[in-house]
């Protein structure tokens, strides 16, 4: 009888560990849900395809009373290779914190809104995200000069740079180096 219980205990342990979530996935889910954000799991339930840090019933200019999104959180995000959509709003993220996001090659939608510490140095770390279809870098300190290092952004169909300090050089770099439908419609500068 004890042998039977031991076998069942081992079997239960194997089954549980086979279906346990990756620690990075667990950490992101725990942090986002505790801050009232939103996550969507992949079809197999083992990873995430969407992470949205927006807080329900708040606007883009509302400030968080506490910010649970720290450098460790962004490091965890960088391990979620199945992530397709990421909305980062009103955090204290800085240029170094967002570096792991540059590894998320399956991202199609990436939005930064009102993350005032982000600049061209952070933007540059996102240059390898060539599958992006939508990109927003709103309410940041970006001037756009980092776009000089971007190549292969051919899928971009929508972008927004409201509330930033993009200048003529930055706009020209974006238009020249993101050979997307948007770039073909770029305005000329004086």
Tens of pLDDT, residue by residue over 55-107, are 888 776 677 878 999 999 999 999 999 999 999 999 999 999 999 999 999 99
Q: Is the pLDDT of residue 12 over 50?
A: no
Please give the tally of structural domains in the chain: 1
Distances (CA, A) of 108 to 111, 127, 153: 10, 13, 11
- Give domain status of residue 2, yes or no: no
- The residue among 8 and 145 whose pLDDT is bigger is 145
- What are the phi and psi torsion angles at 184 (to 5°)? -65, -20
- Give domain status of residue 105, yes or no: yes
- Please count the other Cβ atoms lying within 10 Å of the Cβ belonging to residue 152: 14
The per-residue pLDDT for 30 is 97
Q: Is the pLDDT of residue 29 over 50?
A: yes
The per-residue pLDDT for 100 is 98
- Give domain status of residue 9, yes or no: no
Return the CATH number at 160. Answer: 3.80.10.10
Do residues 112 and 88 lie in contact, with contact meaning Cβ atoms separated by under 8 Å? yes
Assessment of whether the complete model's pTM goes beyond 0.95: no
- Give domain status of residue 10, yes or no: no
For residues 45 and 8, give the distance between their C-alpha atoms in angstroms, rounded to a whole number.
25
The per-residue pLDDT for 16 is 40
The per-residue pLDDT for 188 is 44
pLDDT one-digit tens code per residue, 16-27:
444 578 999 999
Domain containing 130 equals 23-184
- Please count the other Cβ atoms lying within 10 Å of the Cβ belonging to residue 144: 22
- Give domain status of residue 8, yes or no: no
- Give domain status of residue 44, yes or no: yes
Would the CA dihedral through 78, 87, 173, 167 be positive or negative?
Answer: negative
């Amino acid at each position: 009888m004890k042998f039977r219980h031991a076998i069942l205990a081992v079997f239960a342990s194997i089954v549980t560990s086979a279906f346990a979530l990756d620690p990075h996935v667990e950490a992101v889910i725990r942090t986002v849900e505790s801050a009232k954000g939103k996550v969507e799991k992949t079809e197999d339930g083992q990873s995430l395809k969407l992470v949205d840090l927006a807080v329900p019933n708040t606007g883009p200019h509302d400030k968080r009373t506490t910010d649970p999104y720290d450098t460790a959180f962004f490091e965890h995000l960088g391990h979620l290779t199945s992530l397709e959509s990421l909305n980062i709003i009103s955090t204290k993220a800085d240029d170094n914190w967002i570096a792991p996001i540059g590894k998320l090659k399956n991202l199609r939608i990436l939005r930064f809104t009102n993350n005032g510490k982000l600049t061209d140095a952070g933007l540059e770390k996102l240059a390898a995200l060539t599958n992006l279809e939508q990109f927003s870098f709103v309410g940041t300190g970006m001037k756009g000069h980092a776009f000089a290092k971007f190549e292969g952004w051919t899928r971009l169909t929508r972008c927004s740079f409201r509330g930033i300090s993009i200048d003529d050089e930055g706009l020209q770099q974006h238009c020249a180096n993101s050979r997307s439908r948007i770039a073909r419609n770029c305005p000329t500068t004086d």
